[in-house]
Amino acid sequence: MKLTCDEASAICDKSQYNEASFWEKIKLRVHLFLCKKCGLYAKQNKIMSTCLQKLKDSEYPKTQHLNQDEIKYLEQELKTKIES
């Protein structure tokens, strides 16, 4: 039942895309309860996915690269979410 941090991060990634099994999610929750570093990873991973999805859904022109406004927006969102 014990997970390494590498295994936990892999399950965390799978869980975000609904690819983790029920048992993997249980093991991940136990690990996150015990390991604060992995808990921080999970929080940051969720924030990044949320920010990227917001950007993807936004009305910004679809380009190959982020413009300066998009970069500033993402930086501000990340700072706000990580500090809370």
For the entire predicted model, the pTM comes to 0.64
What pLDDT digit, counting tens, does each position of 36-54 carry?
Answer: 999 999 999 988 888 888 8
User: What are the extents of the domains in the chain?
Assistant: 5-83
Query: Given this model, what pLDDT does residue 7 score?
Result: 94
Cβ neighbours of residue 38 closer than 8 Å, sequence gap 6 or more: 5, 8, 9, 12, 31, 32
As given in the structure block, the two tokens for residue 72 are 């500033």
